[in-house]
Structure 1
Amino acid sequence: MRVLVVTAVAAERDAVVRGAAAAGTGPAEEAPGRVAELALPGYVLHRPAPAGPQPLVIDVLAAGVGPAAAAAGTATALAAAALSGSPYDLAVSAGIGGGFTATATATAAAPGRTAPVGSVVVSDAIVAADLGAETPTGFVPVTELGFGTVEHRPPAALVRAVAEAAGAQRGDVLTVSTVTGSAERAAALVAARPGALAEAMEGFGVAEAAAAHGVPVLEIRAVSNPVGPRDRAAWRIGDALEALAGASAALREALRAAPAETWSSS
């Protein structure tokens, strides 16, 4: 099985690599150091040494920040793999992100669960939360304008398996091009998508590229900060990166236990 994991920045990539290399060998900090670097046009893939009775190739790519960069990097890697005769079986958007908290959802129309700092969210749906148009009566998704899509749904069986392995919550992960900076905007996002648990900037770009190649997609986010007013003192990036490494190890173990044929058509 071949899996492409796409992050935004190198720190996220390194956490994913560390967790993937450690899977089945012990805690993430005990990961072996063997990581191959493979050149693509404009990018470099990082590949932890395969381990375990059933070889599982996980390539990790830091594609840049935002949905456009994520889509470009993902499409490049998917196309290169397909042309080489070894296509990927799964694309994963992974990284840290904001979590919706009780404060963010308190004034929402349908308050729900929350994702505290340090927790992990696995996507039930990957949603383009700000793709559309502003109108006198409010925001209109691009789908209501008569074209495009604003949602991709990962295979349900895979979502369940990875969430269980990672001890993670399942929920919608929102992709935005502008990070939310106010309680009012956070509440509006949750009112529009009551299942929202996390916000990030790349998932929908990865999902669009994967859909173009007919490859299933998943998103995993470790929460580094609450969604809402920007308070850098409340951010826990180091803790979130550790949680991301743990989720990467869990992803690898879940994939070993549930081969692609058990979830690719879910």
Structure 2
Amino acid sequence: MRKILIMTAVDAEREAVKAGIHEGVDVTVELAGVGPAQAAARTAIQLAKQNYDLVINAGIAGGFREKVQLEDIVVSTTIQAADLGADTGEQFIPVEELGFGSSSIECLENEVDRFAELENVFTGRIITKSTVTGTDEEAKRLQVRYDDAVAEGMEGFGVATAAKEFGVPVLEVRAISNYIGKREREKWKIKEALVSLKQVMEVVR
């Protein structure tokens, strides 16, 4: 039986994940905290304690309107640090073009496929930002820059960076609670997204 580490940002996500995991599956669910830096540090601490076969960053997230609906599930094919680079005021230059490393981590196709057969599950690039997008204009710019992106979170690239350093495959699984862009909290569906997150955890094994 393989060992799986799941990192969530907050308690509500952790409880939803734990409630959805089947009995007998060897899964550890821990808090990553909010943001990529804390998520990377806390994931690395867990990976240093014991060996795992897969790391998953799970939680809720904002989705791109053109790609997904509220309460849908998105699964990463690529985990992308969307603000790692340089902003000239006229364009964004990713860290790759600056010659300082990589801003994306690829996910194993067979891990993605475990989820892709379920209803209302969509796959694509999930971007990570330290500052959540709060305008429709920025959402459009991001969608143009990453045309295969389906969602935005705050921890994915941090979790993925730690997993990569330990040589462990990584995946990001998110339930869509709101749309990326102008913040309209009254329209968010956090409780419903947490239910979707719980339900999709039945695939984890």
- TM-score interval w.r.t. the shorter chain? over 0.9
Query: RMSD across aligned C-alpha pairs, in angstroms?
Result: 1.1
> 1:123–1:218: 8 Å Cα contact kept in structure 2?
yes
Instruction: Name which of 33, 37, 62 aligns with 1:68.
Output: 37
Cα distance change, pair 166–203 in 1 and its aligned pair in 2 (3 A): farther
Match of 1:90 in 2: 54
Aligned-partner residue type, residue 116 of structure 1: Q
> 1:74–1:209: 8 Å Cα contact kept in structure 2?
yes
Match of 1:197 in 2: 150
> 1:143–1:149: 8 Å Cα contact kept in structure 2?
yes
Match of 2:181 in 1: 228
CA distance in 1, matches of 2:199, 2:102: 32
Instruction: Provide the TM-score with structure 1 as the length reference.
Output: 0.75
Aligned-partner residue type, residue 95 of structure 1: G
Pair 1:158-2:111 in alignment = yes
Pair 1:80-2:81 in alignment = no
Match of 2:63 in 1: 99
How far 1:94 sits from its partner (Å)?
Answer: 0.5
CA distance in 2, matches of 1:174, 1:230: 18
Instruction: Provide the TM-score with structure 2 as the length reference.
Output: 0.96
Q: Name the SS for the 1:180 alignment partner.
A: coil
> 1:5–1:61: 8 Å Cα contact kept in structure 2?
yes
Aligned-partner residue type, residue 10 of structure 2: V
Pair 1:16-2:17 in alignment = yes
Name the larger-Rg structure: 1
How far 1:158 sits from its partner (Å)?
Answer: 1.2
How far 1:136 sits from its partner (Å)?
Answer: 4.3
Aligned-partner residue type, residue 72 of structure 1: A
Q: Name the SS for the 2:60 alignment partner.
A: strand
Alignment of 1:243-254 (within 5 A): 243-250=196-203, 252=204
* Unaligned stretches of 5+ residues in structure 1: 24-49, 82-86, 103-113, 256-266
> 1:4–1:91: 8 Å Cα contact kept in structure 2?
yes
How far 1:165 sits from its partner (Å)?
Answer: 3.9
Pair 1:173-2:114 in alignment = no
Superposed CA deviations along residues 104-146 of structure 1, whole A, max 9, x for unmatched, are xxxxxxxxxx111100000011000111111143111111110
Match of 2:193 in 1: 240
Q: Name the SS for the 1:214 alignment partner.
A: coil
Figure out how many residues of one structure are paired with residues of the other and give that number.
204
Q: After the TM superposition, which parts of structure 1 deviate over 2 Å for at least 4 consecutive aligned residues?
A: none
Q: Name the SS for the 2:117 alignment partner.
A: helix
Match of 1:108 in 2: none
> 1:96–1:223: 8 Å Cα contact kept in structure 2?
yes
> 1:166–1:247: 8 Å Cα contact kept in structure 2?
no
Cα distance change, pair 155–14 in 1 and its aligned pair in 2 (3 A): same
> 1:6–1:63: 8 Å Cα contact kept in structure 2?
yes
Superposed CA deviations along residues 244-265 of structure 1, whole A, max 9, x for unmatched, are 0011122x2xx3xxxxxxxxxx
Aligned-partner residue type, residue 8 of structure 1: A
CA distance in 1, matches of 2:179, 2:90: 28
Aligned-partner residue type, residue 92 of structure 1: I
Superposed CA deviations along residues 172-212 of structure 1, whole A, max 9, x for unmatched, are 10101110001110000010000010000000000000000
Structure with greater contact order relative to length (CA < 8 Å, sep ≥ 6): 2
